[in-house]
Amino acid sequence: MTRVARLYHEERLIQSEIASKLGITQVAVSRLLKKAEENGIVRTTVVTPPGAFAELEETLEQRFGLSQVIVGEATSDSEEAVLAAIGSAAAEYLESTIRSGEVIGISSWSSSLLATVEQMHPIRKLENCVVVQLLGGIGNPSAEQHANHLAVRLSRLVRGEARFLPVPGVVGSANAAKVLLKEPNVSGTVALFDKVSLALVGIGSVEPSALVASSGNIFSKAELEQLQKQGAVGDICIRFIDAKGKPVKGAHDERVIGMDLEALTRVPRSVAVCGGKRKFAAILGAIRGKWINTLVTDQHTAARLVKAQPGKAS
């Protein structure tokens, strides 16, 4: 199914040419293409035309000092519809802007980034791209497999190589983090953080999504309550921020293995792919703090942001 799907959708061969190439009948080709859709190997994506929300995008760029805002059209304000819309919009944006030689950082365990790479098509004529995992797999081994999948999938789409961060995103203690950071496989990847030209991150709320929650307990209930008492509204790569975008510091920071906020601000294109009511306070804090310079979101979230005050981190 995958072979037939690639020949048809990527190499643009017609069904009779595929049949001849593989030594099967044209009817078999047609059936395999249909099965590829049924099994999720081929996905249909509806892309909102560029500029459909041009005024909304320009307003947000000017109000919050963002380099670029891309707004996708969600069919409703539900999390599922928003996720599909921002994934589609981000995929289209990346397909048209990634260039040869890019060092692309991607944070792990993000529903929005997973939706993005699943809707992307392979980008032809790219050379020497590297995909760097910006955050270790969160929690248990299955989470690390998810993080690896994200990096591998994107590296194949850009015809590049993947560099992994083969550790949990959050470890048990600061000493454990220090020891792991000295491992050659880890330190080699971390050293690439300074070379990242495009960073792709999700923005999380203090209350984790179902995807993150399924990876196991990252922080204890007491730790989450303490973060909320300190004013935390969300995180970027497990680095927490308050409503004004100010970092919320604590012992948890030393347990995180991944790119920090200051390093993120040095990336030429730092792109957050996020939307939805649950994450609104966190998204607003992220752009108030100027931790990212490009935002991909949906029209409902964008409309809420227009009504908010820019503010700034103190």
Instruction: Classify residue 313: in a domain, yes or no.
Output: no
Do 276 and 195 form a contact (C-beta atoms < 8 A)? Answer: no
pTM of the full structure: 0.82
Considering the domain architecture, whether residues 109 and 204 belong to the same structural domain is answered as yes
Specify whether 53 is located in the same domain as 14. Answer: no
State whether 126 and 246 are in the same domain. Answer: yes
Does some domain include residue 314?
Answer: no
Q: How many helices (H) and strands (E) does the chain have?
A: 14, 10
State residue 217's pLDDT score. Answer: 55
Domain shared by 30 and 157, yes or no: no
Q: Is 110 found in the same domain as 24?
A: no
The domain that holds 13 is classified in CATH as 1.10.10.60
> Which amino acid would we find at residue 261?
L
Q: What is the mean pLDDT of each run of 10 residues along the chain (314 residues)?
A: 90 91 93 91 74 89 96 94 95 95 91 92 92 83 70 93 91 93 95 98 78 56 86 94 93 90 97 96 97 97 92 55
Q: Which residues touch 256 (CB under 8 Å, ≥6 apart)? A: 135, 169, 170, 177, 237, 238, 239
- The answer on 50 and 16 residing in a single domain is no
297 three-class SS: strand
* Same structural domain, 117 and 27: no
Q: Which residues contact 255 (CB under 8 A, 6 or more apart)?
A: 170, 171, 172, 173, 174, 176, 177
pLDDT of residue 258: 95
Tokens 């260039």 identify what position?
A: 99
Look at residue 214 in the predicted model and tell me its pLDDT: 46
How many whole angstroms separate alpha carbon 26 and alpha carbon 292? Answer: 49
Q: Are 313 and 245 in contact (CB under 8 A)?
A: yes
Q: In CATH, what number is assigned to the domain containing residue 258?
A: 3.40.50.1360
Examine the domain organization and report whether 15 and 150 are in the same domain.
Answer: no
pLDDT score, position 213 = 47
Q: What angle do CA 162, 93, 199 make, to 5 degrees?
A: 40
Give CA 240 to chain center in angstroms.
17
What does the pLDDT read at residue 208?
Answer: 58
What is the domain range of residue 155?
45-307
Task: List the one residue out of 214, 217, 126 whose CA is nearest residue 170.
Answer: 217
Tokens found for residue 96: 């048209």
Domain shared by 157 and 38, yes or no: no
Q: Check whether residue 24 and residue 127 sit in a common domain.
A: no
How confident is the model at residue 207, as a pLDDT?
A: 72
